[in-house]
Structure 1
Amino acid sequence: MKKSGVPTSPPPGPQAKTPWPRVETEACARCGAPLEPADRFCPACGAVHQPPSLPTQARRTFQETITCDNCGATLHIRPDQRSYTCEYCGSTYVLDFAPELTGRQAPEFVLGFAISPNEARQLFLKWMERRVGSAPAAFQEAVRRADIRGVYIPFWSFSMLAESQWQATIGEYWYRTETYTTYQNGKLVTKTRTVRETEWWPLAGKYHQYVSGYLVSASRNVPQQVADRLIPFHLAGLRRYDPAYLAGWACEEYVVDRPEAESRCKEYFRQYQEQCVAAFLPGDTYRGLVVDTQFSQEASDLILLPIYVMRFDYAGKTYRVWMNGQTGAIAGEVPRFWGRWIIVGLIVLAALLALGFLVTRLWG
């Protein structure tokens, strides 16, 4: 475990030379070239390589406390949290846990915040005003006092080859002229009209492409339906993970493991693949489309994305709103206040009834 900003111990004195540690290798499943455990791709043929998981017995004991370098206070730490603030002096720390310490994959990329906390608060207040501008004063005060935290949330990003076999019934339109009789001005007349017909014929084929770009939330605090409303993030700004990026910000560890996230991602890609096949089909229409998709060459990245979490309490209930820390997109559920609108409606209705009564008395 590394604590940012803390110098490492001085090198020890002269010692006897020790042999280089032996690096265990394995063969590429596709071409047989030797691979090191850290290799994610075969250097010879480019095939995806998933490093073996670390055995449980190889993990070191987790250290549960650290000492603040500024004031000497003891800070309790957890393996599911990377950033901390000393409660006594305000010093911030970012802990970089080695994978063999926790048995968890380290982040590979991070995307920085582009919106400051003050800007996030103003955007949040404007967003709330548009939705609940007529809310009671107590609710508006609760919104103004909302707790706003910038948090780096872990996401899984996958890329893979999607290969689909499909079959459907394709329809092509053709038109014919039809003669018919009808009554017009009390007389029987003959007219013509154009009628559209559909010719159906079966078709089957294959469709394949590389798919990527879907982000799966690895946090229970940011449900996937919320994450889908915060997307897109401009991933061109991703940087290789460095603990320094997290200084001063909260950061969550992932709780959705890679297999679970991959399953969610494949379900999304299956639906996307079906949409692509439907758009690819010839003809004017179709029916009975069946798409069977298999995936291969899966690769994944664990990335940290910037999200603001707004939290406030009202009438015994806690409300949360989320904001994309790069684009300002906002998602969240807020209460509906119908009482004031009902009162306004009743007042308007009473005014209209009174006006109608006066008009009747004057002109009746």
Structure 2
Amino acid sequence: MSLDPAAGAAPSDHSFDCPTCGSKLRFSPGAGKLVCDHCGFEEAVREHRGRVPELDLRAVERGGPPPSEMQDARFVQCPNCGARVELGTDEHARECPFCATPIVTDTGISRQIKPQAQLPFLISEAEARTAMNRWLGRMWFAPSDLVEYARAGRAMQGVYVPYWTYDAETETTYSGQRGTVHYESRPVSVTVKGRRQTQMQQVARVTWRPAEGRVARHFDDVLVLGSSSLPKKFTDALAPWDLSALSAYEPKFLAGFRAEGYTVPVEEGYREAREIMNGVIQADVRRDIGGDQQKIGRLSTEVGALTFKHVLLPVWLAAYRYRGKSFRFVVNGRTGTVQGERPYSTMKIALVVIIMLLLAATLAFVQVGGKF
């Protein structure tokens, strides 16, 4: 089942006007408030934590999501990294927050599954920049002018990145073998001081016996990235995410931030989630087989209840175009964990090689000179 762009309900919007002066409000990370930078107005935003309702994946595959779980949103598509960035009704994007490529293409209104939950930003842009600069400071081989350009104070973009989470009840039957290691003494021929001798040594042997059984596992919030605009190695490295703190979707948390539309369909995301689940199930089976070693012959998994939700997770982005290339740095908007491209300066590397060669030559000269 695929979702094509369609007309429908009014486009989603997370823009809020100040009731005092009419300026745009923004959500202040850490403070939990909407604030007006013009007149100082503040409004607390409440998180609704607890069990977030989920959608039945099989029902969605058969007939599509319920109309109440759909929304229309306006996106621009980056021609370089493929990111779909949501815009307000009167907003225009000039640059992709993911790769700093100029954007001119407006894809119009698209229909997508609504987010069911989000993790609000906890750290501010200033805190994210401090974390990024600290990370850059450890990159001695990075080009100095790129590091200075990145530290120059250019604004970082706060973006809510789309993810899918999957819950599943599974029951797996298996057959395999349980290996028990035991040791026995055996005469072994060895060489001692040039002579062949026979010594008794402990040798490990494994006795295999058939094993079969059944394991059950409840999977909760198996997390899968819903877009391909950022390298997966970056987003995986931003984990862990405190998914227990997810709260029901509240557009006010998005005020002043960007939101990326998902480009990975929910069915495709489930295939990745199933691979993650299979790895956990195999570990469960090995524990159930027991013994010192295990061999798994057959696995048969039945999946019962299967649900999902669309969630938004906060990421601070800095994308720079430097000498014709894009360099991206990402910061977990909750923990401050940093990941990014690691550019290398050929001049710095060459300098280190030259220094090492000079040191080696000096050491060799001293050693040779000492013999005379």
TM-score when scaled to structure 1?
Answer: 0.70
**Residue number in structure 1 paired with 2:175:** 167
Segments of structure 2 that go 5 or more residues without pairing to the other structure are 1-9, 19-52, 76-83, 93-108
Shift of 1:310: 1.5
Q: 1:307 aligns with which of 296, 301, 315?
A: 315
CA distance in 2, matches of 1:255, 1:181: 65
Residues 1:291 and 1:82: Cα distance change in structure 2 (over 3 Å): farther
CA distance in 2, matches of 1:80, 1:55: 24
Shift of 1:203: 1.9
Residues 1:284 and 1:330: Cα distance change in structure 2 (over 3 Å): same
2:86 counterpart of 1:81:
yes
Shift of 1:206: 1.9
In structure 1, the residue corresponding to 2:156 is in which secondary structure? strand
**Residue number in structure 1 paired with 2:142:** 135
Partner AA of 2:330 in structure 1:
W
* Aligned-residue identity in percent: 24
String of CA shifts for 1:124-177, please: whole Å, max 9, x gaps: 1111221x2243332222322455211011111110012222222221112222
User: Which structure is larger by alpha-carbon Rg, 1 or 2?
Assistant: 1
Partner AA of 1:245 in structure 2:
F
Q: 1:123 aligns with which of 131, 137, 143?
A: 131
In structure 2, the residue corresponding to 1:252 is in which secondary structure? strand
- Preserved contact between residue 171 and residue 303 of structure 2 (Cα < 8 Å): yes
**Residue number in structure 1 paired with 2:45:** none
**Residue number in structure 1 paired with 2:79:** none
Shift of 1:186: 8.1
**Residue number in structure 2 paired with 1:333:** 341
Residues 1:119 and 1:179: Cα distance change in structure 2 (over 3 Å): same
CA distance in 2, matches of 1:237, 1:323: 18
CA distance in 2, matches of 1:188, 1:229: 55
- Preserved contact between residue 121 and residue 314 of structure 2 (Cα < 8 Å): yes
Partner AA of 2:267 in structure 1:
P
Residues 1:306 and 1:194: Cα distance change in structure 2 (over 3 Å): same
- Preserved contact between residue 163 and residue 294 of structure 1 (Cα < 8 Å): yes
Partner AA of 2:234 in structure 1:
V
String of CA shifts for 1:229-277, please: whole Å, max 9, x gaps: 1121112222211211111111122222211111221122112211222
CA distance in 1, matches of 2:313, 2:342: 24
**Residue number in structure 2 paired with 1:322:** 330
Deviates more, 1:246-255 or 1:223-232: 223-232
CA distance in 2, matches of 1:119, 1:173: 54
**Residue number in structure 2 paired with 1:94:** none
Partner AA of 2:148 in structure 1:
E
2:212 counterpart of 1:204:
yes
Shift of 1:195: 1.9
- Preserved contact between residue 211 and residue 289 of structure 2 (Cα < 8 Å): no
CA distance in 2, matches of 1:218, 1:251: 12
**Residue number in structure 1 paired with 2:248:** 240
Residues 1:358 and 1:334: Cα distance change in structure 2 (over 3 Å): closer
- Preserved contact between residue 175 and residue 297 of structure 2 (Cα < 8 Å): yes
**Residue number in structure 1 paired with 2:151:** 144
In structure 2, the residue corresponding to 1:294 is in which secondary structure? strand
RMSD: 3.6
Residues 1:338 and 1:205: Cα distance change in structure 2 (over 3 Å): farther
CA distance in 2, matches of 1:336, 1:175: 53
Q: 2:300 aligns with which of 292, 316, 336?
A: 292
In structure 1, the residue corresponding to 2:267 is in which secondary structure? helix
CA distance in 1, matches of 2:124, 2:189: 73
Q: 1:53 aligns with which of 60, 64, 70?
A: 64
Shift of 1:48: 8.7
Partner AA of 2:207 in structure 1:
E
Deviates more, 1:190-199 or 1:234-243: 190-199
- Preserved contact between residue 83 and residue 247 of structure 1 (Cα < 8 Å): no
- Preserved contact between residue 59 and residue 65 of structure 2 (Cα < 8 Å): no
2:112 counterpart of 1:104:
yes
- Preserved contact between residue 84 and residue 250 of structure 1 (Cα < 8 Å): no
CA distance in 2, matches of 1:186, 1:48: 71
String of CA shifts for 1:184-205, please: whole Å, max 9, x gaps: 6788866432222111122222
Residues 1:55 and 1:140: Cα distance change in structure 2 (over 3 Å): closer
Segments of structure 1 that go 5 or more residues without pairing to the other structure are 8-38, 42-46, 66-78, 88-100
In structure 2, the residue corresponding to 1:107 is in which secondary structure? coil
CA distance in 2, matches of 1:295, 1:357: 71
2:218 counterpart of 1:218:
no
Shift of 1:109: 0.8
TM-score when scaled to structure 2?
Answer: 0.68
- Preserved contact between residue 40 and residue 49 of structure 1 (Cα < 8 Å): no
Residues 1:159 and 1:181: Cα distance change in structure 2 (over 3 Å): closer
In structure 1, the residue corresponding to 2:270 is in which secondary structure? helix
